[in-house]
Chains A and B, each alone.
Chain A
């Protein structure tokens, strides 16, 4: 059983604050690391797919980094807005199979 962990479990910030969360995953047999954003009552939305050690990806105010050797990825949100409130999920894909193993998610709430 693969262990994918996210921290913190939940986070409350004020509008305009910058924030970051962590996803840790097995450092062996790495194939890809996915980040999703899941707003209440909506479909999880893909943010990034990261495959190479040292990868940095950016989408607007959201960016992510990847360290496959030590088994972690950071997701950063610059200048949080209320519409950023959602659960952020990471998912690990190993070379050994094609299924995604999800972390428990970080629930972000941004207060206006």
Chain B
């Protein structure tokens, strides 16, 4: 079974630029999560989708971050404009359904904002 795919793996941008990350979850997984992991801290949930609907985006900085999962499969996370404090690893995860324990993670995208 193919795992969660993410691209790009690494990205370096200057502050005030825009960036987008892509995630392809495990086939058949209804629930998709985006996490932000800042160095030295644990991953923090940014947004959770169930199919193409948003379940929880309470920790998403909506003034600059946006995410979509239009067809209930792939998802993109965008930052516009980026700030220095957005430097982090952005992890995507998926699970079979919102009620299931197991979340499967992608390898992450490491973003550096200079």
Contact = CB atoms under 8 A, between A and B. Distances in A.
Interface in A11-59: 32, 34, 36, 41-46, 49
A104 B101 contact: no
A105 B41 CA distance: 7
B8 interface: no
Given A43-B3, A44-B91, A98-B99, A103 B105 contact: no
Interface residues of A, number: 25
Nearest to B35: A102
A99 B45 contact: yes
Contact of B43 (A41, A45, A97, A102): A102
B14 interface: no
A19 B45 CA distance: 29
A41 B107 CA distance: 6
B4 to A, nearest CB: 7
Nearest to A105: B42
Given A43-B105, A44-B91, A49-B101, A104 B48 contact: no
Interface in B55-114: 55-56, 91, 98-99, 101-108
Contacts of A89: 42-43
Contacts, number: 49
A34 to B, nearest CB: 7
Contacts of B102: 46, 49
A34 B101 contact: yes
Given A49-B102, A98-B99, A43 B42 contact: no
A112 to B, nearest CB: 25
B107 A98 contact: no
24 contacts: A4-B42, A32-B101, A34-B101, A36-B105, A42-B107, A43-B4, A43-B107, A44-B43, A46-B103, A49-B102, A91-B42, A93-B101, A98-B55, A98-B99, A99-B48, A100-B103, A102-B35, A102-B42, A102-B43, A102-B44, A103-B42, A104-B40, A104-B42, A105-B42
Interface of B: 3-4, 9, 35, 40-45, 48, 55-56, 91, 98-99, 101-108
